[in-house]
Amino acid sequence: MAHQAHAYHMVDPSPWPLTGAVAALLLTSGTAIWMHFNSMSLMSLGMILLLLTIYQWWRDIIREGTFQGHHTPPVQKGLRYGMILFITSEVFFFLGFFWAFYHSSLAPTPELGGCWPPTGITTLDPFEVPLLNTAVLLASGVTVTWAHHSIMEGQRKQAIQSLTLTILLGFYFTFLQGMEYYEAPFTIADGVYGSTFFVATGFHGLHVIIGSSFLAVCLLRQVQFHFTSKHHFGFEAAAWYWHFVDVVWLFLYISIYWWGS
């Protein structure tokens, strides 16, 4: 068998794109069926298949990059482009929800009393838990940068400590936000205020959980010596994603929590 005469990665056939697509189909149709016919079977099946796909697809990528050497500089460049494009698409995703929020809040309808916050809505005090949440995420941005420098400088123990701290801060945010959701004096069903609040902050919270998971995988990999001081793109991608999540929160805080109160 000849060796390839280029530095690119011609991936081996894999079943995971197909299982991922099937999972997407089962999740979407399953959610619709759950909502109309009171059965969670299809949705649960989709969820399981999705989790299996996630685990195995990314495990394979780690094998290809870390153990088999397929992530040459041009391949890594492509991965960087890919992550940047993905995060850009997520920016547009959130832009939509900010559009909805500003459309509703700049020109509140008569049904709301023509004012924002709408009549009857008790907003959360932006200077209580939401401000703490802001501090927590900003701090986690510092600790993830600390982790990055530690990795680049070959400081294994510090890298593990700062990455762990970042993840703990992420969990703390999620915990605090969960408490806020539980205690809030309004629900998602409370008019367009409730809708814009919980959909925007809800999707953000989901992204915090995803980002925390990504960082946790990086922690496991760091402990298992996957990263070198020069090559640790998985960590960089996780750190980019984490900063994105932080920036989205800052916009949410200023727009919905502060201006919107």
Binds other proteins (CB under 8 A): choice among 107, 189, 225, 230: 107
Within 39-98, which residues bind other proteins (CB under 8 A)?
Answer: none
What number of other Cβ atoms are within 10 A of residue 181's Cβ? 15
- DSSP string covering 83-151, please? HHHHHHHHHHHHHHHHHHHHHHHHS--GGGTSSSSPTT--PPPTTSHHHHHHHHHHHHHHHHHHHHHHH
The binder of other proteins chosen from 15, 69, 113, 154 (CB under 8 A): 113
Q: Which of 103, 122, 153, 254 binds other proteins (CB under 8 A)?
A: 103
Find the binder of other proteins among 46, 65, 108, 130 (CB under 8 A). Answer: 108
> Which ranges in the chain belong to alpha helices (H)?
16-37, 41-62, 73-106, 129-152, 156-183, 191-223, 233-252
- By CB under 8 A, which span of 40-48, 113-121, 234-242, 243-251 interacts with other proteins? 113-121
Q: Which of 97, 88, 96, 47 is nearest to 202 (CA)?
A: 97
- Stretch in the footprint of other proteins (CB under 8 A) among 13-21, 101-109, 191-199, 218-226: 101-109
Site size with other proteins, rule: CB under 8 A: 10
Residues 203-242 that bind other proteins (CB under 8 A): none
If one counts every other C-beta atom within 10 angstroms of the C-beta of residue 30, the result is 20
Residue whose CB is less far from other proteins, 108 or 141: 108
Q: Pick the binder of other proteins from 114, 120, 154, 178 (CB under 8 A).
A: 114
Q: Write out the binding residues for other proteins, residues 115-144 only, by CB under 8 A.
A: 115-116
Nearest approach, Cβ of residue 68 and other proteins (Å): 56
- Helix axes 156-183 and 191-223, enclosed angle (nearest 10): 160
Residue with Cβ nearer other proteins (40 or 115): 115
Rounded to whole angstroms, the Cα distance separating 216 from 234 reads 11
143 contacts 137 by C-beta, under 8 angstroms? no
Q: Residue 203 or 258: which CB sits closer to other proteins?
A: 258
Interacting residue with other proteins among 110, 157, 185, 225 (CB under 8 A): 110
Compute how many other C-beta atoms are within 10 angstroms of the C-beta atom of residue 49.
19
Among 14, 28, 109, 224, binds other proteins (CB under 8 A): 109
Comparing CB distances to other proteins, the nearer of 14 and 119 is 119
Q: Using CA atoms, how far apart are residues 181 and 187, in angstroms rounded to an integer?
A: 8
- DSSP assigned state of 9: -
Instruction: Assess 101 for contact with other proteins (CB under 8 A).
Output: no
Enumerate binding residues for other proteins (CB under 8 A).
103, 106-110, 113-116
